Structure 1
Amino acid sequence: MKKSNNKLAILFSSLFLSTASMADDFSLNSTQIAHGEFMDKPQEFEGFGCSGGNKSPQLSWSNVPKDTVAFAITVYDPDAPTGSGWWHWQIVNIPSNVTSLPAGSGDQSNKLAPKGSRQINNDYGFPGFSGACPPEGHGVHRYQFTVHALSKILDLPENASGALTGYMINAHSLGSASIEALYKR
């Protein structure tokens, strides 16, 4: 009987320790999208046969890694039938004191993106957020919204590609947190 009590005590203390350490993990949250859930029409692209609002969702993050100098946010669809996925949004050099973006920050015309940040051309060919627009009948696509804590401000050329931007983000990432939302047409 004593051995099983010891095993229970070890199990409960392990669960407590792992839960306590998870509470301090870098995390990404949103009031408009959720992990494993389908996005709404406002996050659908407007164009290419899609008629959504093309509006980036509200995002907030917490438990930032120590020594973070800036943030980057990426939105990537690994299921796009391109052979290389599809970059829907890359915004870099978000100041380290910013821990949230309001809905619509990916639209350069409304000037909601933080001062000093830079939006990279998406795979539709313009800087800013481009919503979901998977081919009709192609099934469910995953949209990986990721915030990256960066060790430095990124110095990118004027017309940096999505691949180069991703490389530089990963080369200077102190940690990341993601929400994988879904969309289907």
Structure 2
Amino acid sequence: MTAYIEYGLSRLFASAKGRDARLFTKGPGFSKLPKPTIELASDTASGSQLHVDQSAEGAGQFPSLSWPAASPDTKEFLIVSEDPDAPLPSPIIHGIYYGIPATTTAVTNADFEAAGEYALKGGFRYGKNRRGNIYVPPRPLLGHGEHRYFFTLVALSAPIDWRKLSDLPTIQEIAQAIEGNVVGWGEWVGVFERKWD
């Protein structure tokens, strides 16, 4: 019965997609860098289908991401994961990860395991997503079509002072904290769909 209700909602909001203008990288912190400048890669090409294990239908694993060594002006990295195709006014935030050391050139699912209060095994911290947990794996509405999941890496010229943020900082807090400090960014997109069989 729940599946029928979910499918009915997805049909009702079939055209409510593509909130790209509200993606994190469209904010004021990126006004001087409107296009990606860092090559962000994963096991598959950007725009590829996510494996079921990278969704809520499977193990819910965070995709592996890699990028070149940081430029000298990079002091820290930030990663944001979001879905602009949900039938909501703004993209759904699936994960916020900040305080990533400038020496880091890759992350794997194991880096996103808890290692203390709001801290992760990868040596960084996480912010507030839709569920208030570490990561919300993709689970688009049944029958709503393909959803794109944007994974954005941001290079910062100054570390984010987490002591000045909430314990679980929101995307708005992070956007404000990085304004004037963005020196580069990269983007990788995974696609996932839950079909009505």
- TM-score, scaled relative to structure 2: 0.70
Matched, 1:119 2:126: yes
Letter in 1 for 2:181: H
Which TM-score applies when normalising by structure 1? 0.74
Q: Structure 1 counterpart of 2:73, which letter?
A: D
Where structure 1 has 5 or more consecutive residues not aligned to the other structure, the ranges are: 1-24, 46-50
CA contact (8 A) 2:126 2:168 kept: no
Aligned partners of 2:120 and 2:126 also within 8 Å: no
Structure 2 segments unaligned to the other structure (5+ residues)? 1-36
1:21-170 matches, within 5 Å, as 26-31=38-43, 33-45=44-56, 51-108=57-114, 113-115=121-123, 117-126=124-133, 128-155=134-161, 156-170=165-179
Higher relative contact order (CA 8 A, sep 6+): 2
- Mark the CA change 1:182 to 1:169 in structure 2 (over 3 Å): closer, same or farther: farther
Between Structure 1 and Structure 2, how many residues are aligned? Answer: 153
Further displaced range: 158-167 or 77-86? 158-167
Q: Which residue number in structure 1 is paired with residue 32 of structure 2? A: none
Note the C-alpha offset of 1:170.
5.0
Shift of 1:140: 0.9
Secondary structure of 2:172's aligned partner: helix
Bigger radius of gyration: 1
Identity over aligned pairs, percent: 29
For the 8 Å contact 1:143–1:180, the answer to whether it is kept is yes
Which structure features the higher share of strand residues? 1
